Structure 1
């Protein structure tokens, strides 16, 4: 079975900002299950949505992504 790739840090940034998945779902008008899938990296938000999330959390969008630099 293929290993799941971790592409985003949404869950970590939400925790750093003391925000919940439910809060993010309400702010974006999305289903809480969708947010959960993003936080577990089962699905990924669109780039546009990623920018919306960054604005809500007051972070640079790059903080929501796993760096490709080693």
Structure 2
């Protein structure tokens, strides 16, 4: 879901809490330990959800998941 810039970001707060409403954020699979695409990335957890907030980590994760070249 795309979220507008102004705060508070209700959709982000509902998903990963008010302390994590900075964007970008990508909420990921419920069990990141089972997902090899997350190896070595800074996976955060809040409200029972796992997510990435680093542009670089989000790019690496999506590249791994979709079998394309990682950003460099």
User: Under a length normalisation based on structure 1, what TM-score does the superposition of the two structures give?
Assistant: 0.37
Larger relative CO (CA 8 A, sep 6+): 1 or 2? 1
More helix by share: 1
More strand by share: 2
Q: Which has the larger radius of gyration?
A: 2
User: Under a length normalisation based on structure 2, what TM-score does the superposition of the two structures give?
Assistant: 0.36
